[in-house]
Amino acid sequence: MIVVLTVVAGICPAAAHGTEAHSTGATWTFDPWVVAPLAIMAIAYGVGSVRIFRRVARGNDTFALRLGFFISGWATLAAALTSPLHWLGEHLFTFHMIEHEVVMAVSAPLLALSRPVSALIWALPRRGRHIVGAAMNSAVIRWAWGWSTGGLNAMLLHGVAIWAWHLPWLFDASVTDISLHRLQHLSFLVTALLFWWSILWRCSRGVAAWHLFVTMIHTGILGALMALSPRVLYVLQTTDAQAWGLTPLEDQQLAGMLMWVPAGTVYAGAALTVLAIWINGSGLKGVADV
């Protein structure tokens, strides 16, 4: 999808904020506050994975699968935050919504599936590993991690982040304030990681399916409110829409529809998958009991 959007951006008229020329094509974004953490994460995971592979992972299919999940999650995250999709999101609400959904509904679950913590810790020198390991085993950190990845808490944290940042005045403020924009993306990613971690590794299958279903419902309601609103709610975010052949209201409606339907489909698909695994496991257990 990102490749297609990039091609489209090359042939569409571009409307820029401030004094940037309207003829400027879509470009890659190299914000050091984004690129540096992405690079550090990739290098650390690579170093840690090599060290783990040398010790215990030869011929380990699980390790290879997690590596694939990490690469996929990291690549989609980097593409969402640095590719022309990000540039497009600064000009059209529709593309901004796509960027957010990639971060929360694609990159976050892939990274959670990769379980990268051990590889990241192994990237540290021996003394650093011991210090981090001791800190992670402390009562405070264990409590904080357990609380934030608990099913209900993780779902609520993620839901609050989504609804709070979509308050019109706060969303528009993030469009013009780069610090708020970075904080918005960070909170979406962190709470999504906690949410998907709880779904994949903490909750029972039935509870996980319920939390996915609830998330699908409340994000669908938010998307519907944007799509069906008779007036423009996000004034600054939709300012450039006319240069792309859309009215500000149409741009907002398309963004709302993307949150309502495609993103909802991801959560619905995940819920059905979890339910299928749960039912299949129950069936196998019943056969074993017989």
CA gap 79, 74 in Å, rounded = 8
| Residues 13-71 pLDDT 10s | 433 343 333 335 678 999 999 999 999 999 999 999 998 888 775 657 788 899 999 99
Cβ contact 50:81 at 8 Å: no
Residues 145-156 have a mean pLDDT of: 96
pLDDT of residue 25: 65
The 3-class SS string of 224-252 reads: HHHHHCCCCCCCCCCCCHHHHCCCHHHHH
pLDDT of residue 63: 84
Confidence band for 227, pLDDT divided at 50, 70 and 90: very high
| Residues 257-289 pLDDT 10s | 999 999 999 999 999 999 998 888 765 454 444
pLDDT of residue 138: 94
pLDDT of residue 281: 73
| Residues 73-114 pLDDT 10s | 999 999 999 999 999 999 999 999 999 999 999 999 999 999
Residue 204 has pLDDT above 60, yes or no: yes
pLDDT of residue 115: 94
What is the maximum alpha-carbon separation in the chain? 74
The pTM score is: 0.87
pLDDT of residue 8: 39
- Choose the weakest-confidence range: 21-30, 154-163, 208-217, 241-250: 21-30
Confidence band for 12, pLDDT divided at 50, 70 and 90: very low
- Of all residues in the chain, the percent with pLDDT exceeding 70 is 87
Residue 247 has pLDDT above 80, yes or no: yes
Q: Average pLDDT over the chain, rounded to whole?
A: 88
pLDDT of residue 26: 75
